[in-house]
A and B are shown apart, each in its own frame.
Chain A
Amino acid sequence: MKILVCISKVPDTTSKISFKDGNKKFEEAGVQWIINPYDEWYALVRAIELKEKDPSTIVHLITVGGADTEPIIRKALALGGDEAIRVNAVSDDSFYVAAQIAEIARQGSYDLVFTGKETIDYNASSIGGMVSELLDAPYISLATKFELDGTTATITREIEGGEETAEVSLPVVVSCAKGVAEQRIPNMRGIMAARTRPLKIVEPAAIETLTQVASYELPPAKAGVKLVAADNVAELVRLLHEEAKAI
């Protein structure tokens, strides 16, 4: 069993978001970088659990990014994984990134490709679906449970107002949401081991891009909260009806 886990470097959830160069670039100064939470808590931890259950399982991590993503990938390796691959390219085009991952996935003949359900920076929820199409493999998105029995995966996924369970034969690409696994904290042994695990650097394949960021903008500032006294609930209803036109 070979599993490939996609890892993305993102600004910490609590980061203040701002832009530079005429709103064309994300301001990276002062930003704390983390592993995309869905990649870490759910995709990576589930892959590690599968390896713990069957030690012959091989878990590889992949990221597409510059040298500055290496601290993040080492952090991921501290949780687990046999080896990491960094495709040495920087792009904000989902198709370009997905095609690089698909290239590695194809060469490595992985049985399972795990991604997080989306990254918390671009929120596109696109990489898993694109990789699956490029591999001509089935895709289960927004998984909340993942079980494996031989070469059959039983996967529960989010649907509107509930969930459904699906069975599919490997290979399969899965985007992981809450429920697939529980967050783990790396221990000292893992952190030490991560230093010596191989991190391969691969040059990117020649792939076209399909989109480009023209500019960013921040939402207009909120006017500030209008407080209504607790004994005057009727006034809140009036405001919601007449001013906000929300009811």
Chain B
Amino acid sequence: MSVLILIDHADGHIKKSSFEALTYGADLAKQLGTTAAGLLLGTVNDDLPALGKYGITTVQHVNNESLNNLDAQVYAKTIAEAVTATGADVIVISHNQTGKAVAPRLSARLKAGLVAGAIALPDTSNGFVVKKTVFSGKAFANIGITSAVKIISLNPNSYKTVAGEGTAEVKELAVTVDAPKVKITNVNKVKGEVPLTEAEVVVSGGRGLKGPENWGMIEDLAHVLHAATACSRPVADTHWRPHHEHVGQTGIQIAPNLYIAIGISGAIQHLAGVNRSKTIVVINKDAEAPFFKAADYGIVGDAFEVVPKLTEEIKKLKGV
């Protein structure tokens, strides 16, 4: 019995959401009185023994470059072999783009119950019950896993990373890796920006900004906060901003520590994508904008005056 955590990576680096998953998995192992190991498929440039600081004892490494591209079919089979080889009975994966592709496949392969989008450690006092968000963030469900092997996919930004002391032992894991059937032909990625799903702070603009030429002040504010930028659906639909910045029900769902919505009225479809944010700030000149009802802090005012001032005040606070 042990906990196995998938270490997800892109461009040679381990994703922030995997540090959360490692911390979660290590805490879960402690709760169950067992040990936790990371599982790395593919190759990274990061220091693997240092991952011990998140509480894992071992990194199981399938050192095969073909795994640097995601083919969910190959991933599920490889992870299943690692589960057999290590005797793991709880598998933790981030509920990000990789996890959404891989965790359900693994669940079907191993006949292991999956809670997708978990936000807390399981309650193991009576069974194995995991809390997750449902109804697009409007409620939670506590779901019991009844199978012997269990899979949890953890919502990004819902479990705090804790780094302590410790070194993990890296073990090469010899498992067969199938040739991928999915051939990646093109990758189109914005370089050097914080990915939206991993960002702790997100600054988002809506139609109230009147046009794409006014996004400079959004980017300035995002810059001082080390934040990712996002937008509402109409902004993406009119191509003021790229589609991968669209947050909301049909766009990306996020749960940052701080979400600053500027010139966004707060339609229910938009809220469905951001209502898991810990703190929501709304800046809108319309005092009747429905978003104020879902906000923690608000300013009723002209974004073109308020946002540059906000950037200046944050610069003062940070001493830059």
CB contacts under 8 Å to A, within B43-63, are none
Given contacts A139-B105, A210-B146, 16 further A-B contacts (CB under 8 A): A13-B269, A17-B138, A19-B139, A123-B135, A123-B253, A126-B116, A129-B100, A144-B243, A160-B96, A208-B111, A210-B111, A210-B147, A211-B144, A216-B134, A227-B298, A247-B317
Q: CB distance A230 to B114 under 8 Å?
A: no
Q: CB distance B101 to A141 under 8 Å?
A: yes
Q: CB distance A132 to B72 under 8 Å?
A: yes
B182 — which chain A residues lie within 8 A by C-beta?
A: 138, 140, 166-168
B112 — which chain A residues lie within 8 A by C-beta?
A: 210
Known: A134-B108, A166-B184. A120 touches B296 (CB 8 A): no
Total residue contacts A-B, CB cutoff 8 A: 284
Q: How large is the interface on B (under 10, 10 to 19, 20 to 34, 35 or more residues)?
A: 35 or more
For residue A138, which residue of chain B has the nearest CB? B181
Bound CA span A70–B96, Å: 33
Q: CB distance B292 to A225 under 8 Å?
A: yes
Check: B279 CB closer than 8 A to any chain A CB.
yes
Residues of chain A at the chain B interface (Cβ within 8 Å) = 11, 13-14, 17, 19, 37-38, 41, 93-95, 98-99, 118, 120-134, 136-142, 144, 154, 157-169, 175, 177-179, 208-219, 222-223, 225-230, 233-234, 236-237, 239-241, 244, 246-247
Bound CA span A222–B297, Å: 11
Check: B186 CB closer than 8 A to any chain A CB.
yes
Residues of chain B at the chain A interface (Cβ within 8 Å) = 10, 15, 71-73, 76, 95-97, 100-109, 111-117, 127, 129, 132-147, 181-190, 193, 195-198, 201, 225, 243-244, 246, 249-253, 257-258, 268-269, 272, 278-279, 281-282, 292-302, 305-306, 309-310, 313-314, 316-317
Known: A139-B73, A209-B146, A225-B297. A219 touches B140 (CB 8 A): yes
Q: CB distance B134 to A122 under 8 Å?
A: yes
B95 — which chain A residues lie within 8 A by C-beta?
A: 125
For residue B272, which residue of chain A has the nearest CB? A13
A214 — which chain B residues lie within 8 A by C-beta?
A: 127, 129, 142-144
Bound CA span A141–B100, Å: 7
Q: CB distance A230 to B100 under 8 Å?
A: no
Q: CB distance B297 to A228 under 8 Å?
A: yes
B72 to chain A, nearest CB (A): 5
The 6 residue pairs across chains A and B that have the minimum distance between CB atoms: A230-B301, A129-B104, A210-B113, A162-B189, A133-B108, A124-B116
A236 — which chain B residues lie within 8 A by C-beta?
A: 281, 297, 299, 310, 313
Contact check: which of A120, A129, A133, A160 meets B136 at CB < 8 Å? A120
A161 — which chain B residues lie within 8 A by C-beta?
A: 189-190, 193, 195-196, 244
Bound CA span A208–B145, Å: 12
Known: A123-B136, A212-B144. A160 touches B97 (CB 8 A): yes
